Structures are given as structure tokens and as C-alpha cells.
Amino acid sequence: MASNSENVRLTVLMKLEEELDEEAILEEQMLALMHRFADRFMD
């Protein structure tokens, strides 16, 4: 039983980590788009 709950915990942590990674990637993409948008009006 203990190993099963340990597996569940590891699975949840891995999923959380995946979500955070995806969020970080999206954040970088958004910032890049915002910079490109701003550059368009600064020139």
C-alpha cells in the first residue's frame, strides 16, 4: 500500500512539473511576441 501511494505522489509531482514547464514555455513565447509587437511600433 505504501509503495502505491508513493507512486501516486510521484505521478502527481511529475504532472505538476510538466505543467510548470509548459507554463514557462508559454510565458517565454508571450514575452517574445510582446517584444516583437513593441519593436514594430518603436521603429
The structural domain count of the chain equals 1
1-43 residue pLDDT tens: 568 999 999 999 999 999 999 999 999 999 999 999 999 988 7
The 3-state DSSP class for residue 1 equals coil
pTM comes to 0.66
For 35, the domain range is 1-43
Cα end-to-end span (Å), the chain: 64
For the chain, how many residues are written?
Answer: 43
| Residue 43: per-residue pLDDT | 73
| Residue 1: per-residue pLDDT | 55
| Residue 2: per-residue pLDDT | 63
